Amino acid sequence: MTEAPKIYLLDTSVLLHRPESIFSFGENRVVIPIVVLDELDTFKRGSMQINRNARRIISMFDELRSRGPIFSGVKLDGGGTLKVDTVDERCIKQTLPSGFEKNADNHILATAVGIKNENPDTKVVLVTKDINMRVKAEALGLQAEDYKADQIVDPAEMYTGQAEVRVSQKLIDQFYKDKTLPVDGLLSEEGGINFYPNQFLMLICKESPSVTALAKYDGTNLELLRDPRHDIWGIRPLNREQRYAVEVLLDDNISLVTLAGKAGTGKTILAIAAGLQKVVNDKIYRRLSIYRPVVPMGRDIGYLPGTEQEKLAPWMQPIYDNLEFLLNEGDKKSRGSSKLDYLVDSNVLDIRALTYIRGRSLPHQFIIVDEAQNLTPHEVKTIVTRAGHGTKLVLTGDPYQIDSPYLDATSNGLTHVVERFRDQKIAAHVTLQKGERSALAELASEIMER
- Contact (Cβ atoms closer than 8 angstroms) between residue 235 and residue 330: no
Q: Do the first three CATH levels of 7-145 and 153-226 match, i.e. the same topology?
A: no
Q: Which residues contact 261 (CB under 8 A, 6 or more apart)?
A: 241, 267, 398, 431, 432, 433
> 245-284, pLDDT tens digit by residue?
999 999 999 999 999 998 889 999 999 999 999 999 999 9
Give me the helices (H) in 92-202, please: 92-95, 104-118, 131-139, 169-178, 183-187
Q: What is the pLDDT of residue 300?
A: 44
Q: What is the pLDDT of residue 297?
A: 39
Predicted confidence band of residue 356 (pLDDT cuts 50, 70, 90): low
In CATH terms, is domain 153-226 a member of 2.30.130?
A: yes
Q: Produce one character per residue of 21-43: b if its CB has 16 or more CB atoms within 10 Å, e if not.
A: bbbbbeebbbbbbebbbebbeeb
Percent of the chain with pLDDT over 90: 51
The model carries a pTM of 0.76
Q: What is the pLDDT of residue 296?
A: 45
Q: What is d(CA 362, CA 421) in angstroms, rounded to the nearest whole number?
A: 20
Task: Say yes or no to pLDDT of 204 above 50.
Answer: yes
Helices 34-43, 49-64: crossing angle, 10 deg rounding = 140
Cα end-to-end distance, the chain, whole Å: 46
The residues spanned by each domain of the chain are 7-145, 153-226, 238-447
Exposed, middle or buried, 140 (CB in 10 Å: 0-12/13-18/19+)?
middle
Task: Say yes or no to pLDDT of 426 above 80.
Answer: yes
Task: Say yes or no to pLDDT of 171 above 80.
Answer: yes
Q: What is the DSSP letter of 357?
A: G
> 71-112, pLDDT tens digit by residue?
889 999 888 999 999 876 666 666 777 777 888 899 999 999
Q: What is d(CA 405, CA 402) in angstroms, rounded to the nearest whole number?
A: 8
Q: What is d(CA 267, CA 260) in angstroms, rounded to the nearest whole number?
A: 7
Q: What is the pLDDT of residue 74?
A: 94
The CATH number of 238-447, from 3.30.1330.10, 3.40.50.150, 3.40.50.300, 3.40.50.970, is 3.40.50.300
Specify the fold of 7-145: Rossmann fold (3.40.50)
